[in-house]
Structure 1
């Protein structure tokens, strides 16, 4: 007796997933242009760039006068190039904003130094995309040239501002170091954009218990394509035996808003800043304290890298011994007026600052009050002469004469 195996009847599936979903599931190769589309990245870089562009750079000289170190500001033509007119199509403000973008998102920021007879005539920002590095193979005695569209230049022809560099020629961008979190944030934006463009319609697939002809499949594809285009009111009629099954969730079900907030907070960690600075709220601490924290953790380290680059490439060899460039961060770090004046009051009451010194910090004219209020009850001890001065009586005591009950020699200071 022969047994015949009953043929299993399986449902035939017709998938209508488009190329966008496949691309979302695949690994996304992050680039500078993609990263800058992420609002958190764009906002953080814009904020840092604005602070850098609005903080003046000055040139100082250190010298020793009467065995004391003295620092004075130097009026130099190169300071004008760094703060105002660069001699290029970009002014100084635009240049520093472009430098900030290239520093974080590219291989580094490069500024060409245009010299005539050894004097800097102008400085020119060069997009890092046009920079190619030609390195030697020696891991100890490293050397390189910088190529711009096929023309080779020596390293000293450029101011090089590099992030996490290990060779002094190029740096590491946040795009390459943090591509995973940036990819998540970027793909979340793409997915949300796809939902908006398709009217929030859910994706899915069709199932059929019987074979579907190619003509029917083509008609269904056109119908679903029109349905998801979100530019007309379209109705899809399914033939008998066809069923639509959802394959993805809506934005609410996937909690995209919570995901965006979480991704933004993670990206802010890359820049050492609080998300509150970008969304305009401050929950944990005072806004002034949050800004000060951001400046100290994110902006000042970047400024130090710029200063080192300027000292290395924009100073002559003979100038490097005593000259240096530095950002004038006095205004940036001053804090609120209330905090500043409370600090001055404490310093004056503690006898470590005079009134005129406090006025100098506020860019106010001195009053000629070059004295410190000691108070009548003050007793001062001179560690060098070992004398004690009593302000109330106007007398001083020689501590060297205090030996085993000897008489104390009082000398009137009048």
Structure 2
């Protein structure tokens, strides 16, 4: 029997989210943030998670990096890999999707859903000829999964906008999925850690609203009348209000202010915030001092997940095994000029690259005659266009097809 998973929020749920925030800010009965997070008994929403600076920064960094990578299409031809540049799907992934979102915005939105909720969806609009006419990002909160709970031959359908669709009609970017239909995002896997960070932020907000004034209580030697209590409350609210210019409260004779003791969170708030920020970075595998490590652990897995999804859902069955999509990561991992040129020098000395290949990497024009690979062996040069070997020491040319040696007075072109 189909089981439905609906991700959209009802107005009642949204109002509950707002009330929780209001209660968290105003509630002073549970001042210990860690204990408050444990007692709350609720999962954090993506909206709350994105209010945490460390989470917003990590999600934006990863999604922007992946979205900025151009998508390229390649095919195998005679044991060579050739780029296909005139395919409409590539133009849509990198530019006009025929949706309100362009290619970069579509990829970024999909990766954000992937990280936070575990599910990123792009609808593939195909013509009767199977040609793709548009790629449409769909917010995962408008997706409902109807899955048949069969452990081996797993099947499911995707509900969206009142219609039911087959899995191959969507590009599905799923995080930590176990059934190929639903993924698990950061907000679901580590909700308590993010809830703790969120409540710590609210605690800081509360401290800011009180202008950092110490909490305490008033002690009176006599019983106060209701009018006196009301005036005292008003004066005290003005003192703690961020909009008020009053910063002094005059106490009547017989009334004394007693400062409340600081909680462990108040005394170690800065340290707590730093520790939570570091934990969130670890959660997203972000390293402050090593971008290469960040790329390998935080960005590259998302890149491979995106490539796999494109190759499975956007390629026709007859194209699979012959064509493949790939995200161009060169611009992201591109080193500085000195490091690049030192790498080119090493590649040239090892015979790994020709000068023209290096020039292409730098977006420079091809120069005829520079498709030369240095094979070492006391300066033996190989021309990749004519397939000839030239030995400068003996001024001889040798072809691949013939073992004969040609005396070369003119050398190689």
Give, in whole Å, the separation in 2 of the partners of 1:413 and 1:369: 21
TM-score computed with the length of structure 2 as normaliser: 0.76
Counterpart for residue 363 of structure 1: 363
Counterpart for residue 314 of structure 2: 314
Q: Secondary structure at the match of 1:132?
A: strand
The question of whether the paired residues in 2 share the 8 Å contact of 1:272 and 1:297 is answered with yes
TM-score computed with the length of structure 1 as normaliser: 0.76
Deviation at 1:62, TM superposition (A): 1.3
The answer on 1:265 being equivalent to 2:278 is yes
Give the 3 Å change call, closer, same or farther, for CA 119–204 of structure 1 in structure 2: same
- Deviating more after overlay: 44-53 vs 31-40: 44-53
The question of whether the paired residues in 2 share the 8 Å contact of 1:360 and 1:366 is answered with no
Give the 3 Å change call, closer, same or farther, for CA 111–225 of structure 1 in structure 2: same
Counterpart for residue 151 of structure 2: 139
Deviation at 1:205, TM superposition (A): 3.8
Deviation at 1:145, TM superposition (A): 1.5
- Deviating more after overlay: 170-179 vs 367-376: 367-376
Counterpart for residue 95 of structure 1: 106
Q: Secondary structure at the match of 2:309?
A: helix
Q: Secondary structure at the match of 1:111?
A: strand
Counterpart for residue 49 of structure 2: 35
**Unaligned stretches of 5+ in structure 2?**
1-24, 382-389, 397-403, 408-413
CA root-mean-square deviation? 3.3
The answer on 1:340 being equivalent to 2:352 is no
Alignment equivalent of 1:19, drawn from 27, 42, 55: 27
- Deviating more after overlay: 326-335 vs 39-48: 326-335
Counterpart for residue 187 of structure 1: 199
The count of aligned residue pairs is: 358
Counterpart for residue 55 of structure 1: 69
* Greater C-alpha radius of gyration: 1
Counterpart for residue 300 of structure 1: 300
Pairs within 5 Å for 1:166-185: 166-185=178-197
Pairs within 5 Å for 1:2-401: 19-22=27-30, 24=33, 25-27=35-37, 28=40, 29=42, 30-63=44-77, 65=78, 68-117=79-128, 118-206=130-218, 221-232=233-244, 233=246, 235=249, 237=251, 240=254, 244-248=258-262, 254-275=267-288, 290-364=290-364, 365-373=366-374, 377=378
**Unaligned stretches of 5+ in structure 1?**
1-16, 276-283, 285-289, 381-388, 396-410
Deviations 1:12-69 (A, max 9, x none): xxxxx95255385533531100000111111111122222222110111113x2xx34
The question of whether the paired residues in 1 share the 8 Å contact of 2:89 and 2:132 is answered with yes
Deviations 1:147-201 (A, max 9, x none): 2244322212211101111111121111111223222221121111111111112
The question of whether the paired residues in 2 share the 8 Å contact of 1:205 and 1:247 is answered with no
